[in-house]
Amino acid sequence: MHLAYPAVLAALLFCTGLYGVLARRNAILVLMSVELMLNAVNLNLVAFDVWLRDALHSGQALTLFTIAIAAAEIGIGLAIVLAVYRNRGSSDVDRLRDTAETDAAEALPGDSTEDQATAPAGKAKKAEATA
């Protein structure tokens, strides 16, 4: 088997995943694109392992480890996306970034009178808790 075939296929898969990460706005599609990129890396690992005829099959072992890490990553990523969707009502990455910047700008310390009124009470509670 020639090494060029799986290498070209892996490069196409990786470029497709990279395009998905850069061009898509939906967080689930971005996660799927990252998984596509990881699978391209796995294909390269197995192809080079076969091409080098490694006796220990370290490329295949590393591929299994990468698959396990990718499974954990997609599980955690989907849980975070689901929680954000339930909280914000959208999984659009650009809209979430704008919302986060707006929330951060509104929550600057010292801008609201409520923060100033509750600040001494919060300091007193901290002092009691540490004593």
HSE toward the beta carbon, residue 2, CA cutoff 13 A = 4
Whether 128 shows a pLDDT value over 60: the answer reads: no
Summarize pLDDT for 101-112 with one digit per residue, the tens: 787 788 777 655
pLDDT of residue 98: 78
pLDDT of residue 91: 86
Eight-state DSSP code of residue 32: H
State the Cα–Cα distance between residues 104 and 35, nearest whole angstrom.
31
HSE toward the beta carbon, residue 70, CA cutoff 13 A = 18
pLDDT of residue 114: 52
Fold of 4-130: Helix Hairpins (1.10.287)
For 43, the 3-state DSSP assignment is helix
Summarize pLDDT for 42-97 with one digit per residue, the tens: 999 999 999 998 788 899 999 999 999 999 999 999 999 999 999 988 888 888 87
Rg (CA), the chain: 24
Of 15, 22, 28, 117, the closest CA to residue 81 belongs to 28
pLDDT of residue 89: 86
pLDDT of residue 113: 53
Whether 31 shows a pLDDT value over 60: the answer reads: yes
Q: What is the mean pLDDT of residues 27-54?
A: 94
Spans of all domains in the chain: 4-130
- Taking CA atoms, 91 is separated from 78, 80, 120, in Å, by 11, 10, 38
